[in-house]
Amino acid sequence: MSYLFDTNEGARYLMMGNDAIVRGALEANVNVASAYPGTPSSEIIENLSKASQKRNIYVEWSVNEKVALEVSFAASIAGLRSICAMKQNGVNVASDFLLHVALSGTRGGAVLLHCDDPGALSSINEGESRHFARMIELPLLEPGDFQEAKEMTKWAFELSEELRSIVIMRSVTRLSHASGNVILGKLGAPEGKAQFKYEAVPGDADSGPVITMPVPPHHALLQEKLKKAVAIFEKSPFNTYTGPAKPELLIITCSACNLYSREAVHLLNAQDRVGILKIGTTWPLPPKLIARHLAMTEKVLFVEEVLPFLEENVKVIAAETAAEVGIKQFYGKNDGAMPTINEMNPDIVVDVIKKILGIEYIAMDEGYANRAKGHLIARAPVRDLTFCPGCPHRASFWNLHNALAMDNRRGFVCGDIGCYTLGFLPCGFSTMKTSHSMGSGIGIASGFGKLTQFGMDQPILAVCGDSTFFHAAIPALVNAIHNKSDVIFVLLDNSGTAMTGFQPHPGTPLDARGGALPTIDPAEVCRSLGATVEYADPFDTEETQKKLLALMREKGARVLIMKQMCALSPEKKGKKRFEVKVDQQICRGDTCGCSRLCTRIFRCPGLVWDNKRQAAVIDEVICAGCGVCAEICPSGAIKKTEAGR
């Protein structure tokens, strides 16, 4: 992590996009950073917290994105520089506050950094947060490579201070989680004293109370700021053009699509025919710059992810300047040339340029492609997602599934996003039947629990993780309890924000830097709300199922905390609690009385089927030693012994 502290201007590092953003923030002398974890944004705060060990930066894992934005806003109006990071849907969570911040304005440089996830590589939505910039009327920046990610972050603070507005910067998975070479700039020492000035009249940008009323004048002021931004963007070095003076085709692109466009033009050897206008300041668009480039050509192709944001905004400018730039042939998402779902890649761009310009290009010889496809189908079995070996969620869903099946009233589980979302797949015994935004499992369950008057008689369960509990589940749980909804809320407590890499949360005793913090016990919270609270260890399958069955006989809001630490947690990773072996003589295998329960149904990656001996066998490389398979084996063939004895 030496790039965090390297004062050697001009030094060259291979950095992840998120690291480049971190370095940019450090070069901007950021004072405060806050976030709620979410792939692909989490490394930003993680690495800033490492930097905070040597620099005076306050770094916080906040309870959710809205609060994170509020925390970093406080720093801004106290005169400090702050950055708030989140994944795409985090912006939705923060958006209510963001709407008000746009009106109230900021003081110290304030940057909202969001990482979108085109293709939903690590998400359960493909939400695009760029539209918030237009909707809420805030400036939006999109870096086009790794170096720019650093430079643009640094500049975003300056822009924010110039405009007195929060600046939104958007990254995507293929930048945040990709790596490239970055040359370092000057690293100064953080400065700034925090003081909130409120003595002047309301509306005074420097020292008045910070409020959004009266609204129309504030709104007018906001729009003035955007006009100012346009003027700055007209001259921004982040908007670049590469290509001939009169290209046959003009590509207008931004973000990672800039790299795909460059690659595609290179592959097609079309550098003389295609120009690339890479926009770094994607809202509000600089109309003169756009018009100038539109005038260069007849054909325009938009390459962007995911929805036609640039495309539609450029088309407005094209319409307004049609007399001057002429009528264009546009290619993009609206005419179907480009997909409006999923992430882009160089091949998609190659295909569309090929068609527009009539260039011959064969990416893969047809004979080779067919042979490769044949081998793929026959010899590369699909890898479905599954819980890790030793994952407590596998055991938890086993218990939930079995208890619901035994109860036999068509009960079901509502869930949300976390590793446990996989509970809807066979690895979770298809137990989860709804999955939406954070905390929505218990919210939906609260609604289901009030449908008894319409004849609903199914037991209703909701699950959520320990971090999600604090993020968004508490209001829904309050709702369920207050409205006497008949639900069982199961907290899958694996002691950390596991999916994004073990960030702390209010239930854990550490801050972002590893310092001590008081913990808030979810059980105490639930009890104080009036719920009965039970505990279970999901690895004790019999006891957990008994508790679930007993809870299902009760009425009202009930809470069960299934507590077992994540198998990848620093405390557990690489340490086997049990040595597990299968006695293949005892294993009943594929016969009546077992029918391969462990491999066919339980499906832990650490326990595989030995085709030769027609019995189960432990894969020692993969087995995490949790011992749960020994509990579920109907014939006692799986033996566990405490490791190290």
Question: In the range 334-363, which residues lie near another protein by CB under 8 A?
Answer: 345-347, 350, 363
First to last CA, the chain: 39
- Touching another protein, residues 76-95 (CB under 8 A): none
- Touching another protein, residues 105-124 (CB under 8 A): 121-122
**Toward another protein, which CB reaches closer, 45 or 499?**
499
- CA 247 to chain CA centroid, Å, is 38
Query: Exposed (0-12), middle (13-18) or buried (19+): which is 645, by Cβ within 10 Å?
Result: exposed
Q: Residue 630: how many CA atoms within 13 Å on its side-chain side?
A: 21
Per the DSSP assignment, residues forming a β-bridge with 532 are 558
Q: Residue 237: how many CA atoms within 13 Å on its side-chain side?
A: 6
For the stretch 452-459, contacts whose Cβ atoms lie closer than 8 Å and that sit 24 or more positions apart, written own/partner, are 452/486, 457/409, 458/409, 458/410, 458/411, 458/412, 459/404, 459/407, 459/409, 459/411, 459/412, 459/488, 459/552
Among the listed ranges 168-176, 283-291, 509-517, 557-565, the one in contact with another protein (CB under 8 A) is 168-176
Least distance from another protein to the Cβ atom of residue 291, Å: 29
Least distance from another protein to the Cβ atom of residue 576, Å: 12
Q: Which of 600, 636, 641, 642 binds another protein (CB under 8 A)?
A: 600
- Does residue 330 sit in helix, strand or coil? strand
Question: Is 555 among the residues that bind another protein (CB under 8 A)?
Answer: no
Q: What is the 3-state secondary structure (H, E, C) of 34-53?
A: EECCCCCCCHHHHHHHHHCC
- CA 339 to chain CA centroid, Å, is 22
CB neighbour list of residue 41: distance below 8 Å, 6 or more residues apart: 18, 35, 85, 86, 87, 90, 113, 114, 115, 171, 176
Question: Is 256 among the residues that bind another protein (CB under 8 A)?
Answer: yes
Least distance from another protein to the Cβ atom of residue 79, Å: 36
Q: Which of 608, 614, 631, 639 binds another protein (CB under 8 A)?
A: 608
Query: Exposed (0-12), middle (13-18) or buried (19+): which is 109, by Cβ within 10 Å?
Result: buried
- Touching another protein, residues 264-293 (CB under 8 A): 264, 267
Least distance from another protein to the Cβ atom of residue 513, Å: 19
Question: Is 433 among the residues that bind another protein (CB under 8 A)?
Answer: no
Among the listed ranges 58-66, 317-325, 480-488, 586-594, the one in contact with another protein (CB under 8 A) is 586-594
Number of residues engaging another protein in binding (CB under 8 A): 87
CA gap 540, 264 in Å, rounded: 55
x-marked contacts with another protein along 495-534 as a string, rule CB under 8 A: ----xx----------------------------------
Q: Which of 193, 227, 379, 612 binds another protein (CB under 8 A)?
A: 379
Q: Which of 329, 601, 636, 641 binds another protein (CB under 8 A)?
A: 601
Q: Which of 378, 454, 455, 528 binds another protein (CB under 8 A)?
A: 378
Contact of 552 with 488, CB cutoff 8 Å: yes
Least distance from another protein to the Cβ atom of residue 172, Å: 10
Q: Which of 10, 368, 454, 516 binds another protein (CB under 8 A)?
A: 368
Question: Is 383 among the residues that bind another protein (CB under 8 A)?
Answer: yes
Q: Which of 131, 228, 596, 639 binds another protein (CB under 8 A)?
A: 596
- Touching another protein, residues 174-213 (CB under 8 A): 174-175, 177-181
Which structure tokens are listed for 551?
């809870």
Among the listed ranges 49-57, 152-160, 526-534, 607-615, the one in contact with another protein (CB under 8 A) is 607-615
Contact of 261 with 349, CB cutoff 8 Å: yes
Question: Is 428 among the residues that bind another protein (CB under 8 A)?
Answer: no
